[in-house]
Amino acid sequence: MIAAAELAAALALPHPPRVLDVRWKLGGHPGRPEFERGHVPTAVYVDLDTELAGHGEPTDGRHPLPGEADLQAAARDWGMRDGDAVVVYDDFSGTSAARAWWLLRHAGVDDVRVLDGGLAAWVAAGGALEAGPVQTARGDIHLQYGALPTLDADGAADTAEHGVLLDARAGERFRGEVEPVDPRAGHIPGAVSAPTTENLGGDGRMLPPVELADRFAALGVRPGVVVGVYCGSGVTAAHEALAMVSAGLPMPALYPGSFSAWSNDPARPVELGAA
């Protein structure tokens, strides 16, 4: 994580970080018009649906990982170069920016941070906004997947049985009371409900590391236990992973297809109700 004041100081350095604006909400308006109305100075807009996700069969999930070459081409369009530090933000408490954080880390970018509290925190700290579209010089970054652990459906099932598989969706979706987008309601059998919104304070910022560590301990996360995370389509699961790392815990394995992939496979069972 990075605080707004820290980002402001970093932007004044001779080699400032590359800033990426990842405004996106499930079922919400496209983020580019909002970006052009006002964004953090030097920021480049990143489209989650088209640049941070691929497109495949329903059993791949709604937001499968983009192809490695596709992500590299997009990152070069954002102006990224090898060795760049990166700061990502959104206007939704980091739950979509975390997708960029996780994906870039997975592709081998070491220094990626999420703006704590997002755009609201930047404005509250007195940060200026720029308006209009942004043109940037093409970068030359080289990306390669494999830096972070991932799960497929079999791995998710095994983690739920022998470790801890955290479901980052809202509790009512986990219990199967509502399901707005996926073909079946419920959760992966054996998973534990862990809404990622509960990692945030009332101001939309990440809870202190000690509080996060206590929360994950209560969910069964402890040394030596294999931990996986999933959500609806692999977006908010990245925020759950971000919270775990912020707590000083090891990076969990992420199931990119998540419940959207699982629920589209009729051979995969689902459970209803609380864990």
Catalytic machinery residues: 231
Q: Where does 66-208 have alpha helices with state H? A: 68-77, 97-106, 118-124, 153-162, 171-175
Q: Quick check: 262 and 225 in contact, CB under 8 A?
A: no
**Residue 266, CA distances (Å) to 75, 176, 231 in order:** 36, 16, 18
The beta-carbon contacts of 210-219 under 8 Å, at least 24 apart in sequence, are 212/243, 212/244, 212/246, 212/247, 213/247, 213/248, 213/249, 215/247, 216/243, 216/244, 216/247, 216/249, 219/164, 219/166, 219/192, 219/194
Phi, psi of 9 (to 5 degrees): -65, -40
How many other C-beta atoms are found inside a 10 Å radius of the C-beta of residue 63? 25
User: What is the rounded CA–CA span in Å between residue 264 and residue 100?
Assistant: 25
Token duo for residue 187: 């959760």
Distance of CA 80 to the CA centre of its chain: 19
Half-sphere exposure in the Cβ direction for 165 (13 Å, CA):
25
Q: How far apart are CA 233 and CA 238, in angstroms?
A: 10
Neighbours of 208 (CB within 10 A): 12
Alpha carbon distance 205, 1 (integer Å): 10
